[in-house]
Amino acid sequence: MQAKINEVANIVAIVGRPNVGKSTLFNRLTKTRTAIVDSVAGVTRDRIYGKFDWVGRDFSVIDTGGYVRGSDDVFEGEIRKQVEIAIEEANIILFLVDTEQGVTGMDQEVAMLLRKSKKPVILVANKVDNSMRQTQSAEFYSLGLGEIFNISAMNGSGTGELLDEVVKQVPEDVEVEDLDIPKIAIVGRPNAGKSSFINALTGEERNIVTEIAGTTRDSIHTRYNLFGKDFLLVDTAGLRKKTKVHENLEFYSVMRSVRTIENSDVCVLLLDATRGLESQDLSIFSLAEKNKKGIVILVNKWDLVEKETNTAKEYKNKILQRLEPFTDIPIIFVSVLNKQRIFQAVEEAMNVYSRREQRIATSKLNDTMLPIIEGNPPPASKGKYVKIKFVTQLPTRTPSFAFFANLPQYVKEPYKRFIENKLREQFDFTGVPIQVYFRQK
């Protein structure tokens, strides 16, 4: 069966020198529209990845600000790296400048890089909160980047016009033919073994039906038929060598992962067993979880780890502790080099896909969950007793459940986690983020 789908991968990057208000604008955008508002914890000391919606279009936004570290003399080199990565990976770039400070040498340096790029660039003059600043912002025409959009990220003025321009400059989501089969993304930080994993799979006898052009120049969707299972493998690993960018690896791996994760159903996250779960791995895991994708973790290079009786069990527990509260995740120890358990990994990814797609009949949900709730009702709050009468699965792309109650506002987070755990116990959602809502009956 073939159907048409819209691939959502509109990436907006905010670039500029330090202290021009990039993070303030990021926070403003991700809170402007409540349709999709999400930021990933643990990416760096600053939140850098979020989503926003404007006039019915979905966008991912990257704030490059959190990655520029060090003293003033290293700032320029770091900013150059971030701008170069943003030029490569984003659909559109917002170049933020500070009207209070005026044009600086660093602004001119960034502008020169952006003028050479073929990406749409919008010049955004920030801190324009009075008529004098409006006049002052005209000096940024000297950067040679066309029209200036005056905003105040702090109070929000001008951001509507700016977003209208973003929508105008980013083409409508490209419709691609969807083969209606699972899309499995291989993700992880550099050198974790993504390319080797894919090579190990492609080196075996299997049927490549066709090469399908990916949604970007970076991702290849290859159709596989393995053990009777049909799926698309989404690969961004090792497709192009970077000659110019000697990047901050954490920023780069997260930036590359955004598009791949958003256009997949299940993410196979490769870890390097000799290094454990590092901050980049957590960042990529968070991206997958926040986008409600199925997740399988592969601990690669397991052949290089010295083992005792409980080594695998202890290693697994350490990983799960760091991933709390979402710990219902399959973890498989593999050696890509020796082709140990790599096909088990693919099989588990397909199982996670099936769990993510499952629909549970309303009658079965109520027959199962209501007796559990009756035996463990929500704690009373302010003398009020919460009564849950009905539950149903919502018609969403990923598993979401609505519990109808007389006083949903009194249901606290610990009880929501209890209900989620019970849903997982009863219906097997291993590897699948699920959402639980309490609504007025």
Residues making up the annotated binding site for GTP are: 16-23, 63-67, 126-129, 188-195, 235-239, 300-303
Contact 2, 95 (CB under 8 A): no
Annotated binding site: 16-23, 63-67, 126-129, 188-195, 235-239, 300-303
Distance CA 311, CA 386 (A): 45
Tokens of 36: 């999709």
Q: Cα separation of 289 and 40, whole Å?
A: 9
C-alpha to C-alpha distances, 203 to 199, 216, 236, 257, nearest whole angstrom: 6, 25, 18, 25
Q: From residue 225, how far is each of 157, 209, 377 by CA, in Å?
A: 53, 8, 47
Q: How far apart are CA 21 and CA 26, in angstroms?
A: 9
Sheet (strand 435-440) strand order:
388-393, 400-405, 435-440
Cα(218)–Cα(68) distance, rounded to whole angstroms? 25
Ramachandran assignment for 224, one of left (phi > 0), alpha (psi -120 to 50 degrees), beta (any other) = beta
Measured distance CA(397)–CA(190) in Å, rounded: 30
Residue length of the chain: 441
Specify the amino acid at residue 146: G
Q: How far apart are CA 344 and CA 351, in angstroms?
A: 10
Residue 360 backbone dihedrals phi, psi, to 5 degrees: -105, 130
Q: Do residues 63 and 47 make contact, with C-beta atoms less than 8 angstroms apart?
A: yes
CA–CA separation, 412 and 347 (whole Å): 37
